[in-house]
Amino acid sequence: MKKTVLITGASRGIGRATARLFAHEGYQVAINYHKSKQAAQELEAELTSEGCTAMTVHADVSNRDQVFEMVDKVLFSYEQIDILICNAGIANYGLITDFTEADWRSIFAVNVDGIFHAVQAVLPHMIHRKAGKIITASSIWGLSGASCESAYSASKAAVIGLTQSLAKELGPSGICVNCVAPGATRTDMISGFSPEALEAFRMETPLERIGTPEDIAKTYLFLASSAADFITGQVISPNGGYII
Ligand code: NAP
């Protein structure tokens, strides 16, 4: 039987590349989207036309009811969820003095609460089966902090703490929980950066390039695979050596 992966934020960027990679590796893929319905549906059509198994599922991950409905839909169609990748995320930039409370809360609602909801929604199923892998998305800025990205960095540091706690709590239930903390990766999320800023970032990176969504997708795939069966509570940072 094919394994099933549910990927949040799979309509664009890293999540989209991840859905493609897992589908090509033979997984049944549930593609979560929030606003980019058309992009998600195009991806589903592309993958199914290639003989892969894929479905789209809508949910704003910050909305608990929508997340539980999404998980129910995936379980109804695919009967089980082997891998949950909590990839959906948003960023905003600005001086801490300019941040409104709403700016702050919106980041945490998606980047942290979104993972809490998704994990709680899949856990009864995974605990019942005594198996499962949960992978969360942090960032190098969750490891080291970024100027003018305080809310984002704090939310991504929270993801690491959540991942480590869950790994300890869920290990006895046969569930691995790990975190991927990418470096700068070419997606819409960094489209606001100037070419000069990206070039400076590239120059500071030992491997002398910005990451691709596929680089990060491969890290997710490794953590989902049996090659990572004895790995839990870890943070893997595909970042070209930017942080060593
Ligand atoms: P992206 O290109 O901006 O795509 C974001 C994805 O998240 C989209 O599919 C979007 O879906 C989804 N999303 C946003 N808010 C959502 C919500 N409320 N509910 C459900 N889905 C939601 O971002 P990315 O670069 O691929 O980032 C993916 C993850 O990697 C994020 O957690 C990000 O923080 C992390 N990361 C990225 C970088 C980077 O440099 N790109 C570096 C480190 C970490 P819709 O379009 O359908 O709304």
Q: Where are the domains of the chain?
A: 4-236
Rounded to 10 deg, the angle between the 13-24 and 37-49 helix axes is 20
As a whole number, mean pLDDT of residues 166-190 equals: 98
Q: Pick the catalytic residue: 27, 33, 78, 152?
A: 152
For the four alpha carbons of 18, 161, 232 and 121, in that order, the dihedral sign comes to: negative
CATH architecture of 4-236: 3-Layer(aba) Sandwich (3.40)
Contact 70/60 with Cβ under 8 angstroms? no
**Beta bridge mates, 235:** 179
Please state the atom number of ligand 1 nearest to the C-alpha of residue 10. Answer: 9
Q: Is 152 known to be catalytic? A: yes
pLDDT in tens, 74-131: 999 999 999 999 999 999 999 999 999 999 999 999 999 999 999 999 999 999 999 9
| Nearest alpha-carbon partner for 90 in 122, 123, 60, 68 | 60
pLDDT-above-90 percentage for the chain: 100
Residue with the smallest CA separation from ligand 1 atom 2 is: 13
pLDDT in tens, 53-70: 999 999 999 999 999 999
pTM confidence score? 0.98
The answer on pLDDT for 1 being more than 90 is: no
pLDDT of residue 174: 98
**Beta bridge mates, 133:** 83, 176
**Beta bridge mates, 4:** 28
As a whole number, mean pLDDT of residues 209-229 equals: 98
Question: Which amino acid type is present at position 131?
Answer: A
Which protein residues are within 6 Å of ligand 1, measured from CB?
8-9, 11-15, 32-36, 60-62, 87-91, 110, 137, 139, 182, 184-185, 187-190
Beta strands in 1-148 (DSSP E): 4-7, 28-33, 53-58, 83-86, 132-137
Return the structure tokens found at 117: 């909801």
pLDDT in tens, 4-54: 999 999 999 999 999 999 999 999 999 999 999 999 999 999 999 999 999
Instruction: Categorize the per-residue pLDDT at 241 as very low, low, confident or very high, splitting at 50, 70 and 90.
Output: very high
Q: How large is the greatest C-alpha to C-alpha distance in the chain, in angstroms?
A: 53
